[in-house]
Amino acid sequence: MKVKLWGVRGSIPTSGPDTEKYGGNTSCASVAYGDHLLVLDGGTGIRQCGGACSASNRIDILLTHLHLDHIQGLGFFSPLFDPSKEIHIWGPASSSQSLFSRISRYLSPPLFPVLLRDVPCKLELHEVSNSVFDIGPFRIQSSYIIHPGPTVGYRIMRENFVFTYIPDHEPALGSHGMIQNPKWVSGYDLAEGADVLLHDAQYTKEEYPIRRGWGHSSINDAGLFASITSAKHTLFAHHDPSHSDAFLEEMLASFKLSSDVSVALAMEGSEIELT
Partner 1 sequence: MAAHEIEIILNRQLADCLSIPVFITDTVGNLIFYNEPAEEVLGKRFEDTGEMPVEEWSTVFKPFDNNGNPMAPEELPLVRTLSDQYPYHKSFQIVSLKGKKQPISVTSYPIISRSGNFLGAVAIFWKQKLK
Residue 28 or 93 with smaller CB distance to partner 1 = 93
Residue 184 or 256 with smaller CB distance to partner 1 = 184
Residue 179 or 274 with smaller CB distance to partner 1 = 179
**Hey, is 103 helix, strand or coil?**
helix
Q: Pick from 143, 138, 165: which is nearest to 37 by CA? A: 138
Q: Judged by CB under 8 A, which of 130, 180, 242, 262 binds partner 1?
A: 130
Q: Pick from 97, 94, 114, 96: which is nearest to 106 by CA? A: 114
CB of 144 to partner 1, least distance (A): 5
The conformation of residue 9, written as its DSSP 8-state character, comes to B
- What amino acid is encoded at 252 in this protein? L
CB of 131 to partner 1, least distance (A): 9
**Under rule CB under 8 A, which residues in 132-171 are in contact with partner 1?**
143-146, 150
* Residue count (the chain): 275
d(CA 238, CA 76): 21
Q: Where are the alpha helices (DSSP H) in the chain?
A: 46-51, 99-106, 188-191, 219-229, 245-256
**Under rule CB under 8 A, which residues in 171-210 are in contact with partner 1?**
173-176, 179, 182-189
Q: How many residues bind partner 1 (CB under 8 A)?
A: 23
Q: Judged by CB under 8 A, which of 93, 156, 226, 263 binds partner 1?
A: 93
Residue 113 or 182 with smaller CB distance to partner 1 = 182
CB of 63 to partner 1, least distance (A): 16
Structural contact between residues 41 and 13, judged by C-beta atoms closer than 8 angstroms: no
Q: Which residues pair with 31 in a beta bridge?
A: 3, 38
Q: Contact positions toward partner 1, by CB under 8 A? A: 93-95, 129-130, 143-146, 150, 173-176, 179, 182-189
